[in-house]
């Protein structure tokens, strides 16, 4: 029996990177997963991968920057399942520029995707968790929320907002059986890695050199493992906390 046997999970940002890795690992651990993203082609391909390993998954196309899309997502989940056990929020965008070059459009994009969407999805699914008397929400933040990182100013600020929001909402709903925690990834090898790093072996090595523990970039599965723990009953006494997964970046700088 898997660690998430028969649990229902909603995973945002599921069509790539961390969200895809979490969706697949959740299925391997026995969960039924609703995969959420904007790219229908990638979403349907993910469902095929899930079915290929004998799991149950579905895809809901959703732009989390639009409130009406989140309402449609909630309705689609309610039509398929009578409750949700896990909400894993990983949708995100990164604008990597010097501070004085970041503009209103950059700010709005990051705020709407990396913060406001988390607020709305939590508001959408918490009432059902309260009715069921249980639930786990896992929000993906970043070490940028606790550790200064050049050129990631709006990104880091919104990730810090996510960690603060999560702790405060965790306090409100703890006695109703809802656990809310954050995972703070460090340098993870995903599509969000800035192009100047992807295209430069020197820049890649420079990033790897910041990792004091393993001498490599993290992989999406490095985030999926703690996501399984936080979604499982093993973490039933854990709420309002941040789990840093960065290979030691924050302690080596």
Domain annotation covers residue 93: yes
Domain annotation covers residue 1: no
Query: Active-site positions?
Result: 155
Domain annotation covers residue 105: yes
- Per-residue pLDDT at 204: 65
Read off the tokens for 17: 């990177």
Residues 35 and 61 sit within 8 Å (Cβ to Cβ): no
Q: How confident is the model at residue 198 (pLDDT cuts 50, 70, 90)?
A: low
Across the range 54-78, mean pLDDT stands at: 97
Domain annotation covers residue 21: yes
Mean predicted lDDT score pLDDT of the chain = 93
Q: How far apart are the first and last CA of the chain?
A: 41
Q: How confident is the model at residue 197 (pLDDT cuts 50, 70, 90)?
A: low
pLDDT tens-digit map of 146-190: 988 889 999 999 999 999 999 999 999 999 999 999 999 998 887
Domain annotation covers residue 159: yes
Q: Which of 172, 191, 187 is nearest to 142 (CA)?
A: 187
- Per-residue pLDDT at 23: 98
Domain annotation covers residue 207: yes
pLDDT tens-digit map of 58-69: 999 999 999 999
Flag whether pLDDT at 200 surpasses 60. no
Residues 109 and 95 sit within 8 Å (Cβ to Cβ): yes
Domain tally for the chain? 1
- pTM of the prediction? 0.94
Domain annotation covers residue 2: no
More confident residue, 225 or 211: 225
Distance CA 103, CA 237 (A): 42
Q: How confident is the model at residue 224 (pLDDT cuts 50, 70, 90)?
A: very high
Domain annotation covers residue 47: yes
**Which domain, by its residues, includes 161?**
8-252
CA distances from 18 to 59, 127, 171, 184, 208 (A): 16, 26, 27, 12, 19
Q: How confident is the model at residue 252 (pLDDT cuts 50, 70, 90)?
A: low
User: What's the CATH code of the domain at 79?
Assistant: 3.40.50.720
């Amino acid at each position: 029996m898997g660690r998430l046997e028969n649990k229902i999970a909603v995973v945002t940002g599921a069509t790539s990177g961390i969200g895809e890795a979490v969706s697949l690992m959740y299925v391997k651990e026995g969960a039924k997963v609703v995969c959420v993203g904007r790219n229908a082609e990638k979403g349907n391909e993910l469902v095929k991968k899930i079915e290929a390993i004998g799991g149950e998954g579905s895809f809901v196309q959703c732009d989390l920057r639009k409130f009406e899309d989140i309402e449609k997502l909630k309705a689609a989940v309610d039509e398929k399942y009578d409750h949700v056990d896990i909400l894993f929020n990983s949708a995100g965008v990164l604008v990597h520029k010097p501070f004085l070059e970041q503009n209103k459009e950059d700010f709005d994009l990051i705020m709407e995707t990396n913060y406001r969407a988390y607020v709305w999805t939590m508001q959408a699914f918490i009432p059902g968790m309260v009715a069921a008397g249980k639930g786990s929400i896992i929000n993906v933040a970043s070490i940028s929320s606790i550790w200064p990182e050049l050129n990631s100013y709006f990104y880091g600020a919104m990730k810090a907002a996510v960690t603060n929001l999560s702790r405060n909402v965790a306090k409100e709903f703890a006695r109703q059986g809802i656990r809310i925690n954050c995972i703070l990834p460090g340098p993870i090898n995903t599509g969000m890695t800035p192009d100047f790093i992807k295209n430069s072996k020197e820049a890649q090595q420079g990033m790897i050199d910041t990792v004091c523990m393993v001498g490599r970039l993290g992989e999406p599965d490095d985030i999926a493992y703690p996501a399984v723990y936080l979604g499982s009953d093993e973490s039933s006494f854990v709420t309002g906390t941040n789990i840093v997964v960065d290979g030691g970046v924050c302690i080596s700088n």
